């Protein structure tokens, strides 16, 4: 049985490059030749080998939520994205341990992956679950949900696709609402105040379970683009 530690990058930092490794893709940081790859083909056997709808979870962590969703909805292909290799390799081990053929993991910066690798109009839904809120104002530039990310996200969403966001951090909710308001082509699925709380059938994840046990409110935003 494969363990997380079995997934290794087979080259040095100096030799770094994107690589696909048995249900996982690694896209290194501080790398500037992304355009040599071109956009990925989800129907390629290295990925899913079919044309089922594709759903992406950004900030997938150890893969608890996306693993559950992939098994619950086998008629969709699922891609978990996390920038930390130690997390991505846990998802990779989960894929093999639980035999989840419709799940693939990508270790990469989310913006880099969307900007350079995901084909236009190819994604049926996206989820950003509990991104780092970077609560200090001077660190706000590091937040995932910003104009650059939303611009690239809008390009990969298929018509009528939904982009979902979950967080326990209300200042981040306010931040996201403002970011979406800057483009009139983003439309909230929910009426004012443009979010709902504590969705019963959301599924289990490390942070969702943790914050719910602590009595925190979980905020869910959902948008379409068009």
DSSP symbols for 64-126: HHHHHHHHH-TTSEEEEEES-HHHHHHHHHHHHHTT-TTEEEEES-HHHHHHHTSPTT-EEEE
Under 8 Å between Cβ of 67 and 100: yes
Catalytic residue (choose from 6, 44, 132, 209): 132
Q: Which two tokens stand for residue 101?
A: 């053929």
Domain ranges for the chain: 4-225
For 145, half-sphere exposure in the C-beta direction (CA atoms, 13 angstrom radius) is 31
The residue whose two tokens read 């200042």 is: 171
Q: How confident is residue 218, by pLDDT bands cut at 50, 70 and 90?
A: very high
Q: Rounded CA gap, 137 and 206, in Å? A: 26
How much is the pLDDT for 20?
96
pLDDT attached to residue 41:
98
* Mean pLDDT of the chain, nearest integer: 93
Tell whether the model's pLDDT for residue 72 goes beyond 80: yes
Instruction: Count other C-beta atoms under 10 Å from residue 148's C-beta.
Output: 12
pLDDT for 30 beyond 80: yes
As a whole number of angstroms, the distance between CA 80 and CA 224 comes to 20
pLDDT at residue 192 in the model:
97
Residue 137, pLDDT score = 72
Higher pLDDT among residues 3 and 49, named by residue: 49
Give the CATH fold of the 4-225 domain: Rossmann fold (3.40.50)
Three-state secondary structure call for residue 33 = coil
Known active-site residue 22:
no
Rounded to whole angstroms, what are the CA distances from 192 to 11, 47, 59, 189? Answer: 50, 39, 26, 10
pLDDT class for 55, splitting at 50, 70, 90? very high
């Amino acid at each position: 049985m494969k363990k997380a530690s079995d997934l290794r990058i087979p080259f040095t930092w100096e030799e770094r490059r994107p690589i696909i490794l048995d249900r996982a893709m690694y896209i290194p940081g501080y790398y500037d030749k992304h355009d040599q790859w071109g956009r990925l083909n989800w129907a390629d056997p290295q990925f899913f080998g079919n044309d089922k709808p594709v759903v992406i979870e950004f900030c997938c962590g150890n893969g608890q939520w996306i693993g559950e969703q992939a098994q619950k909805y086998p008629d969709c292909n699922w891609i978990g994205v996390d920038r930390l290799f130690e997390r991505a390799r846990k998802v990779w081990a989960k894929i093999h341990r639980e035999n989840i053929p419709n799940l693939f993991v990508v270790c990469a910066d989310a913006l880099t992956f969307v900007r350079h690798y995901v084909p236009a109009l190819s994604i049926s839904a996206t989820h950003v679950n509990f991104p780092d809120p970077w609560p200090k104002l001077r660190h706000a530039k590091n937040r995932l949900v910003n104009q650059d990310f939303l611009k690239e996200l809008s390009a990969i969403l298929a018509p009528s696709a939904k982009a979902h966001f979950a967080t326990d951090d209300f200042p981040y909710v306010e931040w996201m609402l403002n970011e979406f308001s800057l483009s009139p082509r983003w439309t909230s699925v929910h009426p004012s105040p443009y979010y709902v709380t504590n969705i019963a059938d959301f599924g289990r994840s490390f942070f969702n379970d943790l914050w719910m046990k602590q009595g925190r409110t979980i905020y869910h935003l959902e948008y379409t683009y068009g």
